[in-house]
Structure 1
Amino acid sequence: MSVLVNKQSKIIVQGFTGTEGTFHATQMIEYGTQVVGGVTPGKGGQQHLDRPVFNTVADAVKQTGADVSIIFVPPAFASDAIIEAAEAGIGLIICITEGIPVQDMIKVKHYLTGTSSRLIGPNCPGVITADECKVGIMPGFIFKKGRIGIVSKSGTLTYEAADQVAKAGLGISTAIGIGGDPIIGTTTKEAVELFMNDDDTDAIVMIGEIGGSMEAEAARWVKENGTKPVVGFIAGQTAPPGRRMGHAGAIVGGADDTAAAKMKILRECGISVADSPADIGKTMAEIIAMKAAKNPAKI
């Protein structure tokens, strides 16, 4: 079992023949991901990276049986690309594109509520199940196989957490970069739930940042429903109120949006909080060791 993607996942790339689509599709293929084709309107019938190109997602699904799509198209067209993938029956849609207008994402969010499709992103690094499937832009070599799940708003902190976990002698089951925009497809809580229900994940790293309430919602869910240990980190501890920091969603709008307030909530909900990203792996290793000491048969 794995979260969202695995060796059997069949991936198409929307924006396949563009510069970004080509580069990252190549990296995904080299990682061992089953990229079965791509979509570039007007170029259907061609071959690219030894894979077929289709004019529409519907054509690609019909011909390849694809169940995952990754989107590398300009912001002005990205919302239509997401909706097209959902209309074609794609179960998991991963949108890498950043800078999509909020109004467009409101339309997408409303449309997806009536479908069975799950959206990751936009403005995210994607999803990787270590040593099985990479659907995104993350450097695959950092993600060593193991039993720690990662959910993160930040791409670079996803990589840092994976590296810290590996250096602590552990590894990653799946890492989900949910994106840092104000409106995204999958929330922190929803991603944490996936890991709580995953038999191949023993513990979870949850990386958040200033702005919004997703971390607090996830923490309260963990307090009420969690069955696995969670290590949390909140980025933006020195951010001044009212200033956006990196991500469109990372802006302090009130007292509860600050890093300090979120860290307090996480601790109150039983989550082990790392004060620095450099402490994520060490904190997780300590928790796993304590768990092993209490329940050696389960580790």
Structure 2
Amino acid sequence: MAILVDDGTRLLVQGITGREGAFHTGRMLESGTNVVAGVTPGKGGQDYEGVPVFDTVAGAVEATGANASVIFVPPPFAADAIFESLDSGMSTVCCITEGIPVHDMMRVADYIGTKDATLIGPNCPGVLSPGKANVSIMPRDIFSPGKVGVVSRSGTLTYQIVNELTQRGIGQSTAVGIGGDPIIGTNFIEILGKFEEDPETDCVVMIGEIGGNAEQLAADYVRSEMKTPVVAYIAGFTAPEGKTMGHAGAIVSGGESTAEAKSEALRSAGIRAATNPSEVAELVAEALGG
């Protein structure tokens, strides 16, 4: 199995005719993903690589039965694109867009709870279930089908760790990049819960960052709710206090937001916490009994 996206995913691309949308639509099609529609207002009736383009998400869903969307819409309009997908009944919405104003995401955060949907992102690499569906900007060639789930705040660290897992012969069930902004649609706990319920995920890798307390909350959840083993890595061991490092949500204010403090909280919950990215694959093999 997989979580969020699989071979039943019928994908709609918002912003399909833009540079990023067009490029990554081609890559998702090459992955075998069932891309059934694109949306760009004012360009309905066109097509891209055989994918029909519509003016609205509602029109695209009615015509194609799309059940998931990926958003490549410029920041000023991205929140409205999220609302449009949520209102059209999408089960999974991945917002790749970076730089959405925080006050726009506050409106989205208030609204998402009224819908039976999962929003991944914004400012994220998306979701990829190897061999089933690629709803992301992730490089598919580094993935292999298997039974290790991956959830991460960092895109590039996801790629590195997935590549090392694959090189070690350890495949993945689904990789989820939740995004690194202060306000995102889905947190670690929600994704960990989905992996816990997936009978074909035997281990989970959690990749965190400095800033906030999301990893500590996840550690408490793992300790009380999960039987599936979890391996973690926290980026930012050498980050100076008061500096934003890469992501808007990755800022060390001291105390519990440091990589050291987060790693210690994870270990206290029985989670294997790596001290560098390359150690993750070794700890996963150990957790799987290999």
TM-score tier, shorter chain, comes to over 0.9
CA distance in 2, matches of 1:88, 1:230: 35
State the secondary structure of the residue aligned to 1:162: helix
Is the 1:5–1:128 contact (alpha carbons within 8 Å) kept by the matching residues of 2? yes
Indicate the residue corresponding to 1:134 in structure 2: 134
For 2:171, the equivalent position in structure 1 comes to: 171
Aligned equivalent of 2:108:
108
Partner of 1:242: helix, strand, or coil? coil
Cα shift at 1:133? 0.6
2:181 counterpart letter in structure 1: D
**Identity over aligned residues, as a percent?**
52
1:3 aligns with 2:3: yes
The offset of 1:167, in angstroms, is 2.0
Matches within 5 A, 1:30-69: 30-69=30-69
Question: Is structure 2 residue 237 aligned with structure 1 residue 248?
Answer: no
Report the Cα distance in structure 2 between the residues aligned to 1:86 and 1:228, rounded to whole angstroms: 31
Look up the match of 1:96.
Answer: 96
Distance in 2 (CA, whole Å) between partners of 1:177 and 1:164 is 17
Counterpart contact for 1:167–1:281, Cα < 8 Å: no
- Report the count of equivalent residues: 290
1:168 deviates by 2.1
1:267 matched to 2:267? The reply is yes
The letter for the 2-side match of 1:240 is P
Aligned to 1:87: 87
Separation in 2, partners of 1:277, 1:267: 16
Amino acid at match of 1:38: G
Distance 2:268 2:226 in 1: 14
Residue identity in the other structure for 2:123: N
Q: In the alignment, is the contact (CA less than 8 A) between 1:147 and 1:172 conserved in 2?
A: yes
1:253 positional shift: 2.2
Give the partner amino acid of 1:149.
G
Whichever residue aligns with residue 56 of structure 2, its letter is T
Partner Cα distance (1:170, 1:46) in 2: 42
Aligned residues of 1:164 and 1:282 also touching (Cα < 8 A): no
Query: Which runs of no fewer than 5 residues in structure 2 stay unpaired?
Result: none
Instruction: Write the deviation string for residues 181-204 of structure 1: whole angstroms up to 9, x where unpaired.
Output: 000001011111111110110000
Alignment map for 1:177-192 (pairs within 5 Å): 177-192=177-192
For each residue in 1:224-268, what CA deviation from the matched residue of structure 2 results, as whole angstroms up to 9, or x when unmatched?
111111100000110111100000000012311000000000000
2:190 and 2:117 map into 1 onto residues whose CA distance is 14
Q: Which whole-Å CA distance do the structure 1 matches of 2:49 and 2:3 have between them?
A: 27
Q: Please tell me whether residue 227 in structure 1 is matched to residue 227 in structure 2.
A: yes
Matched residue SS, 1:276: coil
Amino acid at match of 1:108: V
Match of 2:198 in 1: 198
Deviations 1:73-119 (A, max 9, x none): 10000001000111111111000000001000000111111111210
Q: Aligned-residue CA RMSD in angstroms?
A: 0.8
TM-score by length of 2: 0.99
**Map of 1:258 onto structure 2:** 258
AA at the equivalent of 2:257:
D
The whole-number CA distance in structure 1 between the counterparts of 2:280 and 2:115 is: 36
Encode CA deviations 1:147-187: one digit per residue, 9 max, x unaligned: 00000000011111111111222110100000000000010
Equivalent AA in structure 2 for residue 17 of structure 1:
T
- Which residue is equivalent to 1:123? 123
**1:297 counterpart residue number:** none
Pairing 1:236–2:236 present: yes
State the AA in 2 paired with 1:63: A
